[in-house]
Amino acid sequence: MVSNDAPAGAFGAGAANTLANNLNATIFTGTAAAGSVADFTGLANVINAGTFYAGNSTTSVTNVNPNAGTVQTVTNTGVLNVNGAMNFANLGTQSAGSTFTNGTAAAPGKIDMSQFIAAKAPDGTLFPASTHAIGDIVSLGTISATGTSDLNYKYVFGPAYNFVGRMGKAYSTSTPRWAARGRLPIA
């Protein structure tokens, strides 16, 4: 899936639309150009049991939004390789109570912004190895994040968004930046 200024996936107006990567498959978002934007709209449920490459440069952006007034539920028992920004419900129009669950008792999830290796999408787009950039971010229900250091980061949040980490979960960062510059920005 590649996109730049157009939806990477428009899932319609339903309240139960689901993106299920449950066959140990690989999803790539981004184009050959650095700074590409991939927008997924209408996604109430995201189930990742495979590998999801979100972005192919430090300026790439992957947005995953539910429809307005819908709770978003994300379950990651696979690997999210984030290069740039991966934003869940960044429009701030989701219902309160959205939840991101990373891992289960049987299958740990991994959110990696540091250690992943290079890969090539089926269309030939190169997704380079992790750049260890301090600009990489995963946000949940965060409408905006600004600032340049732990001393001046500012966040604007939408309705409440929960994070649940399970036993065996893994987060890989080479900097003190697990989502939003060292903090997990959750509304």
Residue with token string 């669950």: 101
What's the confidence (pLDDT) of residue 48? 96
What's the confidence (pLDDT) of residue 133? 65
- Cα separation of 118 and 142, whole Å? 28
What's the confidence (pLDDT) of residue 168? 45
What's the confidence (pLDDT) of residue 176? 29
Q: Determine the residue type at 25.
A: A
What's the confidence (pLDDT) of residue 6? 52
Positions in the chain whose pLDDT score sits under 50: 1-5, 167-187
What's the confidence (pLDDT) of residue 117? 79
| 81-108 pLDDT per residue, tens | 888 889 999 998 999 889 999 988 888 8
The size of the chain, in residues, is 187
Give pTM, 2 decimals: 0.82
Q: What is the DSSP string of 60-122?
A: -EEEE-PPTT---EEEESSEEEESSEEEESTTS-SPTTEEEEE--SSS--EEESSSPPPEE-T
| 111-127 pLDDT per residue, tens | 888 767 788 888 887 78
- Cα separation of 39 and 42, whole Å? 10
